[in-house]
Structure 1
Amino acid sequence: MNAEEQAPMKEQYRQQPGTALITLRAEGRLGEAVTCRIETGKAPVEAGLHPATGGDGRSACSGDMLLEALVGCAGVTLNAVATALGIRLRDATVRAEGDLDFRGTLGVSREVPVGFQQIRLQFDLDSDASEEQLATLLRLTERYCVVYQT
């Protein structure tokens, strides 16, 4: 996809803002062994407990899935923004890390937050673009990445 292909959509959204509002949905059904089967539209995913909370490690951990969603969104956004800015990326890797203290989710300590205490998003880019261009690319990627901004 390039800027010319997106132009008609952008114009439609300017002229008819209501057409830009889309409701995304997810649904899951409880399974055995404290799991939840999520229909993704591509392939079902079975989410389960992380081994640090008693899971057996055979199911996807929802915390990992959150980080994977962030990486996927940031990667697609990075690619789209680079295309719009005319920045050629020979290679790019996007990484997310998140710190969880499982005492919170297990109810061991009320002083410990249940969710991620910190999430870090990192980009490794191989490009001939200037440092200023790359800084703009990363700033705009963070600005327009839906999951990052959520």
Structure 2
Amino acid sequence: MREIKFRGFNKFKNKWIYGYPCDKPNALITEFRFDEKLDEFVCCDANCRQDIFRYEEIEEGTLDQFTGVKDKNRNEIYEGDIVKFAVFDLSFDSDENVEKFEKRYEKDEVVFANGRFIAGIEYGSNESLALMQELEVIGNIYENPELLEE
């Protein structure tokens, strides 16, 4: 089973914040306290007077979920990441009467669609990220949108 976790971008700190969504808009919970007496995680004290969570503000629209997949360099892949991957084209060489595979590289944004995390829809890929070949994170849509225009 994959680990469920999230990230969001904090433009004031100019860094990614990792944590969990909460009811506070545009924020992630980055720390919370385990109450030994209740044997559970708590968000406030017994009288709900004090938050126990530590919140970090994030930029609206930057909340991304971890896909459960790591790239060839062992980097975690999140929604919104831009990945480079190998695409294999099958062709038939009639002169040699043989099928040939040609490898090329494409890049695309990681999205959640059809019940799974995928990339490369416009290149005919309908594979889950976990099945893609030579997958590598090269940026993300927030900090490096120009990578998708090249």
The question of a shared fold, defined as TM-score above 0.5 by the shorter chain, is answered with no
Q: TM-score, normalised by structure 2?
A: 0.24
Structure with more helix by fraction: 1
Q: TM-score, normalised by structure 1?
A: 0.24
Structure with more strand by fraction: 2
